[in-house]
Amino acid sequence: MSEARFSVGIDLGTTHCVLSYTEIDNENQQTQAILGIPQLVAPGQVEQREALPSFLFLPNAAQFDSQQLALPWSQEYPVTGQFARDLGQKTPDRLISSAKSWLCHSQVDRRSGILPIDAPEDVTRLSPFDASKVYLQHLHSAWQQQFPDAPLNEQQVVITVPASFDPAARELTMAAAAEAGLDHAVLLEEPQAALYSWIAKAGDNWRVQVSVGDIILVVDIGGGTTDLSLMAVSEEQGALQLTRIAVGDHILLGGDNMDLTLAHVVAQKLAQRGNRLQPWQINGLAHACRSAKETLLSDNDTQQVPLVVPSRGSSLMGGSLRAELTRDEVQRVLIEGFFPVVPADAAPQKRGRAALSTVSLPFEQDAAITRHLAAFLQKQKQASEHLHGFNGDNANSFMHPTAILFNGGVAKADNIVTRITEVVNSWLSSEQDNGLKVLTGIDVDQAVAKGASYYGQVRLGDGIRIRGGTAAAYYVGIESAMPAIPGMPPPMEAYCLAPFGMEEGTEANLPSQVFSLVVGEPVRFSFYESKTRREDQPGTRLDFWSEEELTELPEIEVTLHSDKYKAGDTASVQLLASINELGTLQLSAMDVNSDDHWQVSFDTRN
């Protein structure tokens, strides 16, 4: 890369995208600015906003004149951003939302046109991958329009992903960025970005606020997802060191669920008064509940907030629907529903799924975020063991964080922040530990983008860098060699390819296992990850594991094309794992008999 002038952070969010940038100046620390993103806000009207809502609308060919959908840089199809979101309120079948959650949905082909799921016949559907690409292209164009002399691809670009993204979702994000013209972009986990933003804001003072031995729990509750991470503060050669020691599972629960839940509560109340609501009114209610919720959760003096769902016709006074949301309802539905007081050994409740269901996102069955949090801390109780300076005192039944950082739109509600802190504190005091330090000061709407931009500077110069490497160990499944038993699949062994915490720009030691692969056609492997097995090294074989330890990921696929072999021949290969400088895991198959090697793909469903 030539000399980059800017460090650019892109928060490719589930509900909003934000781009933050900093001029790289080695003399002075610069603050992170936010790019105004031009987008359609009405037919023929383009406005710069600080966020690009992550929505795509696929209009009918006869719905608009082409100039009504023009952007400064192109005619736009699909409609992206605020206007797409507005259109989708009234025509939901043509709206793509939460594409990012689909991008990490391992049960679907993420590169095939499936969105919107309920689209009418005339719609050419887009893949989750395409949708991510469109957002990135939009951001790319917006940048280029404002900085024509500083091509974005020549800047230091950092794109954030959820910490819980699996290798395939990360690779797809990188591929989408490359197709959007950003092939030098680097990935960063969102909770890390939030912590970087906090460090940038705190300046040198951060070293006073946290100290060696601290474990920071980052709770990021966005519009659609909840992301959890643990960061440890240790000391190395006299300097403070930050290490990301654990990440949580992808939890599809966020602020939008809360707004919709409140809307249904109010709708029920209205139904009891004899008003049956239509779907558009529920949408309107959810919209009204969002701001009412923020008022009630931040201002303890307000007892109730009136809600009005405006009529669709022009008679506003005659046709509007009135209701109210009370403090008690918000307390009962949101605080007790999503953040109940639970013991430290709580586990998310599971209920049986219906045998038949439509293709949809795997929404959480248990809405209680505090239970997910409890499960995460239990699972990660040994996460700091390998770190120098942390005692491996395992009398504790769960990981004890000492500080907490909140991020995401939901963190604007003081009462939710307070409730989560109280619940974790009650767990800590049940095992005779002190309460949490609450780290504050970040702007929850922009922290991820700003933190990413800050991280870009850190990569180029000095400043504290959070270490961590991969948040999981990766395994490939091998069928055990044993006599066939009718009716029993041969038992599988898991063979470790990449250890936990593998750092960027490193390779795993080549495991000696040789695999036989058929040449000329795709060969598939079972693929597993573990977020808890920190001790396994490449080459470790497991013949037994519990369901909590190893999670099966989408199969990985390799196709060998070679002049040296005839199609149908078998080649002997070793698998090699590495993490490139951009932060994605790569697997290659190395021919043991020649210097051929092949790239292994994580995304097989196409």
Partner 1 sequence: MEQNYGFFTRLSMAFKMIFSGAYTRTLLQPVAAEPEVPQVEIKEHNQDSALQLISLLQKEGRLVDFINEDINSFADEQVAAAARVVHQGVKKALAEHVSFTPVSETPEGESITLAADYNRSQWQLTGNVAGQPPFTGTVIHKGWQVTEMKLPAVVEGTNLNVVAAAEVEL
Cβ contacts of 444 within 8 Å, gap of 6 or more? 406, 407, 408, 409, 411, 412
Min separation Cβ 97 and partner 1, Å = 21
Which H or E run contains 520?
A: none
CB of 45 to partner 1, least distance (A): 4
- Give the separation between CA 198 and CA 202, rounded to whole angstroms: 6
Minimum distance of partner 1 from residue 283's CB (angstroms): 14
Nearer to partner 1 among residue 120 and residue 505 (C-beta): 120
Determine, following the binding rule CB under 8 A, whether residue 310 of this chain makes contact with partner 1.
yes
Stretch that binds partner 1, among 2-10, 40-48, 222-230, 405-413 (CB under 8 A): 40-48
Q: Considering the complex, what minimum distance in angstroms separates the CB of residue 316 from partner 1?
A: 4
The correct pick among 122, 205, 302, 316 for binding partner 1 (CB under 8 A) is 316
Token pair listed for 96: 């793509």
| Of positions 107, 211, 302, 320, contacts partner 1 by CB under 8 A | 320
Indicate whether 322 belongs to the interface with partner 1 (CB under 8 A).
yes
The CB density around residue 248, as the number of other CB atoms within 10 Å, is 26
State the Cα–Cα distance between residues 221 and 527, nearest whole angstrom: 29
Considering beta carbons, is residue 306 or 490 the nearer one to partner 1?
Answer: 306
Q: Which stretch binds partner 1 (CB under 8 A): 101-109, 258-266, 308-316, 390-398?
A: 308-316
Phi and psi at 57, nearest 5°, equal -120, 130
- Please give the Cα distance from 160 to 460 (Å, whole number): 17
Single residue of 148, 203, 318, 487 touching partner 1 by CB under 8 A = 318
Task: Tell me if 61 contacts partner 1 by CB under 8 A.
Answer: no
Residue 516 main-chain phi, psi, to 5 deg: -100, 125
Choose, by CB under 8 A, the member of 25, 29, 31, 48 that binds partner 1. Answer: 48
Nearer to partner 1, 65 or 431 (CB): 65
* CB of residue 93 to partner 1, shortest distance in Å: 11
Could you give the CA distance from residue 500 to residue 465 in angstroms, rounded to a whole number? 18
The nearer residue to partner 1, 89 or 112, going by C-beta atoms, is 89
Which stretch, 36-44, 161-169, 426-434, 459-467, contacts partner 1 (CB under 8 A)?
Answer: 36-44
| 518 is a site residue for partner 1 (CB under 8 A) | no
Give me the least distance between CB of 103 and partner 1, in Å please: 30
What is the DSSP annotation of 276-326? PPPHHHHHHHHHHHHHHHHHHHH-TT--EEEEEE--SSS-HHHH-EEEEEE
Instruction: Report the residue number, 314 or 391, with the smaller CB distance to partner 1.
Output: 314
Class of residue 117 by CB neighbours under 10 A (exposed 0-12, middle 13-18, buried 19+): middle
Q: Which of 118, 235, 299, 306 binds partner 1 (CB under 8 A)?
A: 306
Does the protein bind partner 1 through residue 358 (CB under 8 A)? Answer: no
Residue 116 DSSP label: S
Residue the block writes with tokens 């079948």:
93
**Should residue 342 be labelled a site residue for partner 1 when binding is judged by CB under 8 A?**
no
Residue range at the interface with partner 1 (CB under 8 A); choices 200-208, 306-314, 336-344, 510-518: 306-314
Residue 71 or 575: the one with the smaller Cβ distance to partner 1 is: 71
For residue 543, give the nearest of 498, 499, 494, 496 by alpha carbon: 494
Dig out the tokens for 215 from the structure: 């474990």
Pair 15, 59: CB distance under 8 Å: no
- Report the alpha-carbon distance of residue 7 to residue 155 in Å, rounded: 6
Q: Which residue has the tokens 């009005």?
A: 308
Restricted to residues 158-177, the positions that interact with partner 1 (CB under 8 A) are none
3-state secondary structure 171-227: HHHHHHHHHCCCCCCEEEEHHHHHHHHHHHHHHHHHHHHCCCCCEEEEEEECCCCEE
Nearer to partner 1, 144 or 209 (CB): 144
Which range, of 210-218, 317-325, 330-338, 542-550, touches partner 1 by CB under 8 A? Answer: 317-325
Question: Could you say whether residue 43 binds partner 1 (CB under 8 A)?
Answer: yes
The one segment of 309-317, 443-451, 552-560, 578-586 that binds partner 1 by CB under 8 A: 309-317
Instruction: Check: CB of residue 229 under 8 Å from CB of residue 249.
Output: no
Looking at 29, 31, 74, 90, which residue binds partner 1 (CB under 8 A)?
A: 90
Tokens of 81: 């951003």
- Count of positions on this chain that bind partner 1 (CB under 8 A): 26
Q: How far lies 305's CA from each of 168, 259, 284, 493, in Å? A: 44, 14, 15, 58
Question: Binding to partner 1 by residue 118, rule CB under 8 A?
Answer: no
Given candidates 2, 124, 272, 315, which one binds partner 1 under the rule CB under 8 A?
Answer: 315
Q: Which residue ranges make up the site for partner 1 (CB under 8 A)?
A: 38, 41-48, 67-68, 70, 72, 90, 291, 306, 308, 310, 312, 314-318, 320, 322
